Structure 1
Amino acid sequence: MRSPLAIAVGVILLGMAPSPAPATTPTPPPPPPGRSSTVAGTAVTWGVSPSSPKGPNGRAMFTYKLDPGARLTDYVAVTNHSARPITLSVYASDAVTTPQGGFDLLPAVRRPVDVGSWVNLTARTLTIPSTSRVDVPFTVTVPANATPGDHVGGIVASLAATTTDAQGNRVAVDHRVGTRIYLRVTGELRPALALEDVRIRHHGSLNPFGGGDVTATATVRNTGNVRLGTQPMMDVAGPLGLGAGTASGTALPEILPGGAVRTTVRLSGAPPLFRLAVTTAVTPTAVDGQVLDPPPDTPSHRVTVWAVPWPQLLLVVLVAGAVWAFMAVRRRRRQRAAENLDRAIAAARDQGRAEAAATTAPATSPLRITTTGEGPPPSGPDNAPTPTATPQAGP
């Protein structure tokens, strides 16, 4: 059983190439302008571009510079390149910057509150014959209290169709093709960017002879009133500036006022020097050749992260252990060699003494004790003669 009808919104393609066909004379369709859809088994293709009362005039988008309270009239060309008539809804809406940095318009269900609400089209629904064009007039009325700066939107031609998704559900798809509107209201311009939610991470490498990766992820928000571009940068340095390195992220060509883009900058080969100082910065740059005078400030974010060289420390421990083991074995071998030498010397000395004692034994003779009568006997209570010993030659 199929679920109830779902609603989906198609992708917006803006800045379509102008069609050379006049509004009243059908001509063979030019190459597809970049958006093609299949409706009820028949391919239909249409385009939207800036125009004049007599047809497209070569503009790629609507670009205006108006004072608060100003009003103007312009034309948008909606061209059917298909071989069958089509009915389109035409409306204006506000532009937004997607989190990935792309350009998009609000969904059709959301009412515009900025430049999209300042546009008044004379026709909201168009039925265009095959291979024909309609030039639709519209007015732009800038409110008297409009804020200075850039206001961005677009004019869309939409075709609703139904299809079936992978689960078998019937889905209503809103195919949209449009062209951009860049309107600058005169007054004080305040170009400014801000860094928000900055997160720094260090990912070490298992290779002790290689560095790790330092990744900075941040949100770049346009806090001013002018469209700005930028290219995120990141500087990494260890203590005393050792191992300094610089990396740049993907260029962000356009961030609308109030818009924000999530971006990432990665530096490979950062040496793990225990503590790394990481500085992330974004320098505002002008778009479409505009001049920022004076140049706006460059927001930056500085933080210190730990980068412990675990593989290098493990390698040092292993090398130190190997050196200690080598020295210990060598010292033990030297001690054993010295002990063996001492034992050998002692054994040789004992053997030499033994051999000397065996070859040269000492001569021994018995003693004979005699007394002599010469001289007076010694005085004293003992009055005993002193014995003397004389050796004899033989038995």
Structure 2
Amino acid sequence: MRLFAAIATGIVLLAAAPAPPRPPAPSAQPAVTWGVTPSTAKGPNGRPAFTYKLDPGAAVTDYVAVTNHSARPLTVNLYASDAFTTAQGGFDLLAGGQKPTDVGAWVRFTGGTVTVPSTSRLDIPFTLTVPGNATPGDHAGGIVASLATTSADAQGNHVAVDHRVGARIYLRVTGELQPALTVENLRVRHTGSLNPLAGGTLTATYTVRNTGNIRLAGQPTLAAAGPFGLGRRSVDAAALPEILPGGELTTTVRMTDVPPLFRLTTSSAVKPAAVGDQVLDPQPTAGTARVSVWAVPWPQLVLLALLALVGWVLIAARRRRTRQIARAVAAARAEGRAEASRETNNRQPDIDRAPRDAG
């Protein structure tokens, strides 16, 4: 039997989308929908998430509202769990079968199962107790109301589906804050253009890890330069979503029209940015990583080779014409000298006979 846990991200986690509708069986139960939001003893107060700032050893009592929007009673499991950052930068909670070890383990309810009457809401109290040895910084999790159902897949197999709806918890434990992001596993590829008059595309993929103790967003930057800093360029990518302490995500930054200067030195940096109303003072340094990549200008080299070939052909043709002209001039001069010599020889006898005739 397979188990699927579905948690949608957002300010409030949403229930998993139902499977494509099928004609209901005669005994089929009507669909149920429910919501989970921060609340008070008298009802929700508009908070988007449970947000606290507490000292180690402190405790707080709060309320969560579970609202049943369905026309029949709803029984759900109510519990808290730890949050993590997905590889794509999403906010998610541990699967239902995983035991929390952080803020999810610090939340206590009076009972684990709640039955909410049809079209009604229950405001349920809970207590969050911070351990005395809790590390300073941000701890994230969520309160979940889950409903397990069984359905059949396309092959007729019975599948257990855990539909989960929840609200986020953001807890900051007082103490020294250490905001820090690092860039790891940087991989860069240069893709040349077939157009010799255009540059190529530089693609950088890397992992951004939150090695500090508070949740952070980030601003990625990619820079590239050829030998001796020639053709230096940089580009800012889209801002990263929040990364929880200890979390990481993979991002890709592209730079177009990069001149292929044989060997490029690339540098990827992520400048930490505050999340929500946080203030980073002083501003932490950016995490950076640097690698070199080959960017051989093959189209440009082919173009230069063709231009050199055309130039050589033109020069060779010019030299050939010059030699032909020189030979023609030389031949004409030789012919002229020969003609002059023949004319001289033809006049010489008359000159020799002239004195004898005079005598």
Q: Does 1:353 align with 2:341?
A: yes
Deviations 1:175-206 (A, max 9, x none): 11100000111111111111111112222212
Task: Find the counterpart in structure 1 of residue 128 from structure 2.
Answer: 140
Contact residue 155 and residue 181 of structure 1 kept, 8 A: yes
Which of 224, 233, 239 matches 2:221? 233
Task: Find the counterpart in structure 2 of residue 118 from structure 1.
Answer: 106
Identify, as 1 or 2, the structure richer in helix: 2
Work out the percentage of aligned pairs sharing the same amino acid. Answer: 58
Q: Distance in 2 between matches of 1:118 and 1:267?
A: 45
Q: Does 1:15 align with 2:3?
A: no
Task: Find the counterpart in structure 2 of residue 131 from structure 1.
Answer: 119
Shift of residue 257 of structure 1? 0.5
Contact residue 162 and residue 172 of structure 1 kept, 8 A: yes
Contact residue 14 and residue 180 of structure 1 kept, 8 A: no
Contact residue 12 and residue 168 of structure 2 kept, 8 A: no
Shift of residue 329 of structure 1? 0.7
Which of 279, 285, 296 matches 2:273? 285
Contact residue 233 and residue 247 of structure 1 kept, 8 A: yes
Q: Distance in 1 between matches of 2:320 and 2:29?
A: 91
Match of 1:219, SS? Answer: strand
Distance change >3 Å, CA 128–CA 36, structure 1 → 2:
farther
Task: Find the counterpart in structure 2 of residue 191 from structure 1.
Answer: 179
Contact residue 15 and residue 164 of structure 2 kept, 8 A: no
Match of 1:361, SS? Answer: helix
The number of residue pairs the alignment matches comes to 348
**Which structure has the higher relative contact order (CA within 8 Å, separation 6+)?**
2
Summarize the alignment of residues 361-380 of structure 1 with structure 2, pairs less than 5 Å apart.
361=349
Task: Find the counterpart in structure 1 of residue 25 from structure 2.
Answer: none
Shift of residue 356 of structure 1? 4.3
Which of 142, 165, 171 matches 1:154? 142
Task: Find the counterpart in structure 1 of residue 294 from structure 2.
Answer: 306
| TM-score normalized with structure 1 length | 0.82
Q: Distance in 2 between matches of 1:362 and 1:10?
A: 127
Distance change >3 Å, CA 172–CA 191, structure 1 → 2:
same
Contact residue 249 and residue 263 of structure 1 kept, 8 A: no
Q: Distance in 1 between matches of 2:180 and 2:301?
A: 45
Deviations 1:4-60 (A, max 9, x none): x3221112345339xxxxxxxxxxxxxxx7765479563321100011111111111
Summarize the alignment of residues 214-229 of structure 1 with structure 2, pairs less than 5 Å apart.
214-229=202-217
Q: Distance in 2 between matches of 1:209 and 1:163?
A: 60
Contact residue 271 and residue 285 of structure 2 kept, 8 A: yes
Contact residue 37 and residue 45 of structure 1 kept, 8 A: no
Give the residue type in structure 2 aligned to 1:327: I
Distance change >3 Å, CA 166–CA 232, structure 1 → 2:
farther
Match of 2:282, SS? Answer: coil
The higher radius of gyration belongs to 1
Match of 1:311, SS? Answer: helix
Task: Find the counterpart in structure 1 of residue 65 from structure 2.
Answer: 77
Contact residue 7 and residue 16 of structure 2 kept, 8 A: no
Question: Which range is displaced more, 317-326 or 343-352?
Answer: 343-352
Distance change >3 Å, CA 363–CA 181, structure 1 → 2:
closer
Q: Does 1:207 align with 2:195?
A: yes
Shift of residue 167 of structure 1? 4.2
Question: Which range is displaced more, 338-347 or 328-337?
Answer: 338-347
Q: Distance in 1 between matches of 2:277 and 2:352?
A: 128
Q: Does 1:176 align with 2:172?
A: no
Deviations 1:302-325 (A, max 9, x none): 233222211111111110110011
Task: Find the counterpart in structure 2 of residue 91 from structure 1.
Answer: 79
Task: Find the counterpart in structure 1 of residue 306 from structure 2.
Answer: 318
Match of 1:346, SS? Answer: helix
Match of 1:150, SS? Answer: strand
Which of 59, 63, 69 matches 2:51? 63
Deviations 1:53-93 (A, max 9, x none): 11111111101111111112111001111222222111100
Shift of residue 255 of structure 1? 0.6
Deviations 1:261-312 (A, max 9, x none): 1111111111112222212111111111211222222221223322221111
Shift of residue 240 of structure 1? 3.6
CA RMSD of aligned residues (A): 2.3
Q: Does 1:6 align with 2:6?
A: no
| TM-score normalized with structure 2 length | 0.90
Match of 1:342, SS? Answer: helix
Q: Distance in 1 between matches of 2:40 and 2:323?
A: 104
Give the residue type in structure 1 aligned to 2:7: V
Give the residue type in structure 2 aligned to 1:179: A
Q: Does 1:250 align with 2:238?
A: yes
Question: Which range is displaced more, 50-59 or 302-311?
Answer: 302-311
Contact residue 186 and residue 290 of structure 2 kept, 8 A: no
